[in-house]
Every structure is written in structure tokens, then in C-alpha cells.
Amino acid sequence: MSKYLVIVESPAKAKTIGKFLGKKYTVKASMGHVRDLPKSQLGVDVENQFKPKYIAIRGKGELIKELRAAAKKADKILLAPDPDREGEAIAWHLQNLLNIKDTEKSRVEFNEITKDAVKNAMQHPRTIDWARVNAQQARRILDRLVGYKLSPLLWRKVKKGLSAGRVQSVAVRLICDREEEINVFVPEEYWTLTGLFKKAKSKADIEAKLAQYKKEKINLTDQEGMNKVMSDLDGVRYVVKDIKKKEKKKYPSPPFTTSTMQQEAYRKLNFAARKTMQVAQQLYEGLDIGKEGTAGLVTYIRTDSTRVSETAQTEAAEYILEKFDRDYKPEVPKQYANKSRSQNAHEAIRPTTVWREPNKIKQFLSRDQYKLYKLIWDRFLASQMNPAVLDTTTVDITAGDYLFRATGSVVKFPGFMKIYTESQDNGENDEERSLPELSVGLVLKLVSLIPKQHFTQPPPRYTDASLIKALEENGIGRPSTYAPIVETIQKRRYVTKAEKQFYPTELGFVVVALLKEHFPEVIDIQFTAAMEDKLDLVEEKEEDWVKILADFYTPFQETLEKAEKNIGVVEIEDEVSSEVCELCGRNLVVKMGRFGKFLACPGFPQCKNTKPLLEGIGVKCPECGGEVILKRSKKGRRFYGCSKYPECGFVSWDAPTNKKCPQCSSMLVQKSSANKGSFLSCVGPQCGYKEKVEEQ
């Protein structure tokens, strides 16, 4: 009886696959990559076709020995890492370590970890795809050349221990550029006027916005202009001039790609990109779900394709017919257009079977696994349903020379919205209030006119979701790299996160400015995106990977030599505080640590004194009248507490305010949500008072 050895990346994947295959199969895990470039040296022969020097990763010796021993006992070795460039490279490294011939059909791949998919893959092995391997090698070597050549320069010129990444540096640039936009932004004043009206014998208010003056769009820039409008409207009649009704279709979003899954999980579930990928990996690799045993619950999670297989579409159509009715099922299954460079060999992220409803398996999943699985399941099913149909109404109300406009919509047919609607980055949604039945010529009663002063707002700082969206839109990185990019720029302390927004640190600003001046191509968004396209062309066998490296490295090396001569030492001065070190008498300075700012003695390493930096928020403690300060938990989460701790034990996860609840006089705290934006909420246990935070 033939014996097969199957090698995958992770123990969880090995466990799931092992249950699908018979006794003839032994399934082992490589624990990710087994070989890589050495950490102690460049590991790339730039004079010899950029030949890489691969060595066994430190700590993997025993594992490699175990895999070799298992390989000797097997009649056939099958390499089954993930179906992408990184997985192909792992398979190639394993092929080398286990002395498998290049001509041997040893590579198997599957897009989902289900019994049928895995068994089918085992029957159709192929040779290693060299184009994929070379695309991965080119990326790895490019990143090594930039990291190992540029980082020592930063150590010498800026600060020891700094590192520069080819793609991460561009992400930091996006955040720094946005901060500069915010810093130079000059707010402009503008005013809006909202009218509340009633028709006779109706309790419902009709809300309308001032839209025109003498048939031209009105633009009010100061209070003087608003005062004139208010004066003109004194005593006028409000008459319904025009009513337009039309039917509008609202279409579902495509099923998830890696990027859209990370964005939506952030908006709806408050998951950071890294957490989303960790949980998604668990769903992909397989979980024990009771009588069914172990099964992969979702398809491969690193993809930029929105393609759905015919089998999955058919299954979704059958489910929709059984659970809803024929009106919800499209006549022709919906396919979504991919971006030109998407890897269409993969599918979108979807449940491996739509019949595995989230609620049916909830008891077998952790809270986070259930939340993300439901999000993926809802999004996929909605993508296969008919659009929603809305009846929209626009009502024009004349008031002398002025015109107010009211809009409303009613859902005529919910379609996909019965299952799912996508969240927006700005917290807004498409819901509009319905309007009462009106007729042209009807005179309305004015309830009130509400003038409001506004100021234009600067562009918002990036969040996890909007940064990933910007990276994808600019062609920076690929599905497998979005989460590591977001994590790395924080670890390197080039950016920090507060209130879910990214702020560049002084270090981030200094490094980006230096790179902009001396290494413009390394930090150029278009150049980096073009490099990603070239790596895709290597995989498509349309570009030579060595030529790409040579075209990049020659000018890069010349720039390095010039920069070494031209860049002086850049000093980053610490902010000096008024607090004095009680050990040596020096003024403590503000430092940036893993969990934000803290105070440290500038006499380090002779004096190692450190203290927390107490950041007041201008709010009095509701329990003792002391100052409320910003603090951080051991895991880095922000919270608020009294400066008189431990005498006073007041703490709050939400930002306290000096405002009192108008209903019960308890303190109001500021909260925010994806759908509602920022709002104030009462902390009183029996009081549900909420108040919208007005735009400044």
C-alpha cells in the first residue's frame, strides 16, 4: 500500500486535512517558511544575477530533520501550502530540502479546506510554478535590498535601531502627507438653514433644507447673509411647488476580498486588520463543528478577486429560493467585475457552503469567530440577491424668492438589504425619512427655521479601514501584506494610534522627509505601485525577475552613495517637561513607547528613571473633583481615570465630558459608532439619554 506524506504550513490545517484523508496519508506542518535569507548579512549576490543565499531558519533544525525522516518513509510527497506566491515559495523550499526532483509533480493546491476540495487536489498534483516562485523571490530580494542598505544609513544619520521598509515607508508617507494637509487646512465658514413644516391635521414634521435663491444654488458664508435670509423669510407663505417621485435600485456590494473584509470588519466589528486575519485564518484552516467534524468554514482568505464559482452560485440560488422567495433571486447569477490586476485564479472570500448558517454553528465558535463568519456569510449571500427597490420622493417648497427641498425614501422591496448593508467610513448611511402625502399647491405651516453655522473640515486622519483602502486604491502592497504593513509601521513607532486614528510621530516625519529628499523613488507612491505591477507580470511570465531587480538596484546604489555624503546627522530633540527627576535632578523628557508617551530621564543609561505621562483632558472627576487623565491598560488600550488614584477609583473606557445629563444630571461621556458617528451618552444606570455631537 502506497504511503503519502502531505506537508502544509500550520498544525491546524494539518489536523483538518488529516481527518479528510485515509490511513495512507501522513500530514505534517512546516510551520510557515523553512528557509529564508540570513539575518546576519545581506544574503544577496548583487554581482551574480542577484542570486539569493537561503539558509534554514534558526530554530527549524529539528522540524526539518523530522520532515526528512517522514519523507524517507513515504512513497510520494505532496506539498500543499497556501495557493499563492508565498505558498508556492514554501513548496519550492521544501522541494529543495527534501531532494524532490524539479520534474516531480508534487505540488497540490486548493482554495477551500473541505473534504471534496482536498481529496480532488490530491488526485491532481503538478510541478512547482516557477513564475510564482520568482515573483515571490523578487519581492523578498527587493525588500531585503531596501531594508539592509537603507536602514544602516538611517542608524548613522538619524537614530540607531531604525529600519526602512520598501512598502511600509510609503504607508507612513500617506499618514504624514495627510497630517500636513490637516495642519495647513484653513476652515471656511458656511451656514445652512433647515425648515420644519407641517401639513394641516398631520403630526409629522417635514424637514427641508434651503437650496436655492431666485433659482440659483444658494451659498451662505457668514451670519450677515443668514440674517438677510431670515429677514426675507419673515411672513412668507410656504407652498409645495413640485413633487418628483421615482424608483431607485440599490445594488449589493460584491463578496469580500481581503481588503474589503479587513475594512468592513473594522467598521462593523471594531477588529484591527491583524485580528481580522488571525480569526479568518482559523475559519479557513478548519474548526470542529460537532456532528460534521472538522471543516474549513470559508474559502482562501488572501485574495483580491470577487469571482464566485458556478457551484457556489448555484448553491446560493437554491438557498435563496428555499429561505426567501423567487423575487429575491436574480434570473442570471451575479458576477462582479475584478480589477485588472486581480489574481482571478482565486475566488472571493465566501462560506464553503451557504447551508452552514451562522446560527447553526454558533455554539462551536468563539465570539470573534462567529462574528466574522456571520459577516462573511451575510456579505456573500447578499451579493447573490436582487437589488433593493426604493421609492424616492423630492419635494420643492417655495418661500418667496427662496426654495426649500425635502427628500425621503421608502423601501418598496428590501432585496439584499434583508440580509446585509455595507457600512460607510464616514459613519453616514443612506437611510432617509419618509414624507407624508403632499400635493402641488398645498400651503404648509412653518414650525420653525433652524439656522446653523458650520466650518469646513480637514480631511480625516487614516484609520485601519481607510488606510487599507488607500493602500489598495494606490496599488501599494497586496492582500497578504495589508495587515503586516499596518502592524509594522506602529511597531517601528513611525506612527501612533489614538481614538482609532493614525498620527505620525516626530520620528515618522523626520524619516519620511529624509527619504523624500534623498530617495524619492523608494517613497514614491506611483513608483511603488508600478513595482507591484511588475511583480504581477513576473508571475504572468511577462517580465524577467532579475531584470526588474537590476533596473531598481543600479540607480538605488548610486543614490545611496550620494546620500551617504550629502546627509548630515539629523537630531531629534526630545520634548522637555517641567517635571524633575527625583533621582538625579535633570528635567524629564517626553519619550514615545509601545503604548504611547511617557517621561524618562535624559541621563539614560546612567539614570534609568521613568514615569507615566499624565495627560489631562480638561475634565473634572465626577466623584472627587480632581483632574481626569488619559491612561493606558497593560495591552495599550486607552481609558480615563482620576489623577488622585488610588485615593479616588474613578475610571471610564469612554471619554468623560464636563456636560451633565439634562434628564438625570449624571455625567455624559463621548462615544462613537460606525453608523451614528460621535454622540454623548449618559452614564446613569437607568437613563438612556443620548445627544448627537454637533459639527464644529
173: in domain:
yes
By the 8 A CB rule, do 655 and 638 touch? no
pLDDT digits (tens, 9 = 90+) for 241-287: 999 999 999 999 999 999 999 999 999 999 999 999 999 999 999 99
Is the confidence at residue 695, as pLDDT, over 70? no
Residue 147 covered by a domain: yes
Range of lowest pLDDT (10-24, 70-84, 158-172): 158-172
Rounded-to-integer distance, Cα 5 and Cα 23, Å: 11
Q: Average pLDDT of the chain?
A: 90
The DSSP annotation for 569-628 comes to PPP-PPEEEEEEPTTT-PEEEEEEETTEEEEE-TTTTT---EEE--EEEEEE-TTTS-EE
Which of the listed residues 339, 361, 383 is the one where a domain comes to its end?
A: 383
Maximal C-alpha separation, the chain: 97
- For residue 682, what is the enclosing H or E element? strand 677-682
Residue 696, pLDDT score: 41
pLDDT at 430: 44
Predicted local distance difference test score (pLDDT) of residue 596: 61
Give the chain's length: 696
225 assigned to some structural domain: yes
Task: Check whether residue 504 and residue 530 sit in a common domain.
Answer: yes
% of the chain surpassing 90 pLDDT: 69
The model's confidence at residue 94, banded by pLDDT at 50, 70 and 90, is: very high
d(CA 21, CA 26): 9
169 and 203 fall within a common domain = no
The alpha-carbon radius of gyration of the chain (Å, integer) is 30
What CATH number is associated with residue 265? 1.10.290.10
Residues with a catalytic annotation lie at 300
Task: Tell me: do 264 and 295 sit in the same domain.
Answer: yes
At which of 383, 412, 436 does a domain end? 383
3-state SS class at 458: coil
Residue with cell 510554478: 129
Q: Angle of helix 130-157 relative to helix 525-539, nearest 10 degrees?
A: 150
Contact 387/250 with Cβ under 8 angstroms? yes
Q: What is the pLDDT of residues 235-246, one digit of tens each?
A: 999 999 999 999
Domain residues for the domain of 12 are 4-128
For residue range 425-460, list pLDDT tens digits in order. 654 444 457 888 899 999 999 999 999 999 999 999
Q: Taking the mean position of all CA atoms in its chain, how far away is CA 72? A: 44
CATH number of the domain to which 476 belongs: 1.10.460.10
Q: Which residue has the cell 493606558?
A: 632
Q: What pairs with residue 206 in β-bridges?
A: 197
Per-residue confidence (pLDDT) for residue 267, from 0 to 100: 92
Residue 629 is assigned to a structural domain of this protein = no
Cα–Cα distance for residue pair 303/307, rounded to 1 Å = 10
Do 338 and 436 lie in one domain? The reply is no
Choose among 428, 427, 430, 112: nearest CA to 266: 427
Same domain, residue pair 409 and 496? no
- Determine the pLDDT at residue 159: 77
- Encode 406-442 in three state secondary structure: EEEEEEEECHHHHCCCCCCCCCCCCCCCCCCCCCCCC
DSSP secondary structure code for residue 112 in this structure: S
pTM confidence score: 0.83
User: 186, 536 in Cβ contact below 8 A?
Assistant: no
- What is the torsion angle, in degrees rounded to the nearest 10, for the CA atoms of residue 567, residue 572, residue 573 and residue 574? -170
Bridge-based pairing state of the strands 287-288 and 238-250: unpaired
DSSP code at position 292: G
Specify if 302 maps to a domain.
yes
Residues 268 and 355 in one domain: yes
Tell me whether residue 306 is in a domain.
Answer: yes
Say which DSSP state 220 is in.
B
Beta bridge partners of 399: 402
Q: Mean per-residue pLDDT for 358-374?
A: 97
> What's the pLDDT band for 674 if we cut at 50, 70, 90?
very low
Please give the Cα distance from 162 to 572 (Å, whole number): 13
Residue 643, in any domain of the structure: no
Count of structural domains, the chain: 5
pLDDT at residue 339 is higher than 80: no
- Same domain membership, residue 584 and residue 544: no
Q: Which of 537, 566, 595 is the last residue of a domain?
A: 566
- Residues 272 and 341 reside in one and the same domain: yes
Spatial CA neighbour of 394 closest among 204, 242, 211: 242
